[in-house]
Amino acid sequence: MDRYENLKQQLQLACPNLTLLEWEPMCGHTSFQIGGPVRLMAIPASEAELTAILQQVKKAEVLPYILGNGTNLLCQDEPTECFVIKTSKGLNRLEILPEGTIYCGAGVLLSQVAAFALQHNLTGLEFASGIPGTLGGGIMMNAGAYGGELKDVLVETHYLTPEGEKGIRRGEEQRLGYRTSSFVGGKEIIIGGVLRLSPGKQEAIQARMGDLAWKRKSKQPLEFPSAGSTFKRPQGGFAAALIDQCGLKGLTVGGAQVSEKHAGFVVNRGGATCADVIALTDQIRAIVQEETGVSLEMEVKRMP
């Protein structure tokens, strides 16, 4: 019996109602709709189940990969021997706290948090109303759009250690920067966070959200699967502008294409593979480097 089969059996004993999937295709769990099967995937229904999973994982000496909503992720085409824990189904607590604060579970979509804030006449999260990822992923990468970032409203982050013990990081301990945080490269698992917002008028909040929704729809290729902005913003400029300047809109490899609507997006026009996306982004980076001298850095993460 190999370690994954052993882990599966231990998880079934520890969590009888846990959803466990074997050789589950990752294309069904990412916004890119790309990715081959992974050996084992667990979808905990609660924080308690997640804690129990971590305890069994440690015993089995299997390193888990934590998945949220898969909106900033590129997975390889080949079957992968790994254990994935998908948190977006179970970590969904959303609660109003005193003094204009909200507790939000890591699995809650940022768009849902923004809608929740709107319902309670709280402003400060309008920028997140169209971001497709979860709070957990948003904290990890300090998600932002249209001049707003999570660091502007995030008071504290709640997490679990690999052993399943709870911890909290507050303020500057979170080290929130441009598309980074103290959790990048670490082993802690984000389970939620507290956001501090300000009182506002519902009509004004809704109008701002509507304006941002129109801007996204008119400028971004929402009609095709993608992982959002493909490259990080280079110092002193914008990746999309550099790519457009190099005449790369519409450049295609297999099913992957530089969006004809927004050069900062690589989209899946149909049947794109991980290999297609990598070949295309390698071309983009090489051409932009040669023609502008700027080295673009990937914002989309690759699953190991």
Would you list the domain boundaries of the chain?
A: 3-86, 94-204, 221-302
In the beta sheet, which residues pair with residue 64? Answer: 83
- CATH for the stretch 221-302: 3.90.78.10
Catalytic residue among 24, 88, 169, 179: 179
Query: Which of 156, 188, 196, 299 is an active site residue?
Result: 299
Tokens describing residue 254: 């297999």
Give dist(CA 245, CA 209) in Å, integer. Answer: 31
User: Cα separation of 38 and 246, whole Å?
Assistant: 37
Is 223 part of the annotated catalytic residue set? no
Tell the CATH topology of 94-204: 3.30.465
Annotated catalytic residue, options 111, 229, 259, 285? 229
Region for 254 from its dihedrals, namely left if φ exceeds 0, alpha if ψ lies in -120 to 50, beta otherwise: left
247 closest CA partner among 283, 203, 208: 283
Looking at CATH, the fold of the domain delimited by 3-86 is given as 3.30.43
Catalytic annotation present for 46: no
- Judge whether 88 counts as a catalytic residue: no
pLDDT, position 2:
87
Closest CA to 104 of 153, 66, 54: 153
Q: Can you give the pLDDT of all 304 residues of the chain as single tens digits? A: 688 999 999 999 999 999 999 999 999 999 999 999 999 999 999 999 999 999 999 888 888 999 999 999 999 999 999 999 999 888 999 999 999 999 999 999 999 999 999 999 999 999 999 998 999 999 999 999 999 999 999 999 999 999 899 999 999 999 999 999 999 988 899 999 999 999 999 999 999 999 999 999 999 999 999 999 999 999 888 999 999 999 999 999 999 999 999 999 999 999 999 999 999 999 999 999 999 999 999 999 999 7
The pLDDT, as a whole number, for residue 1 is 65
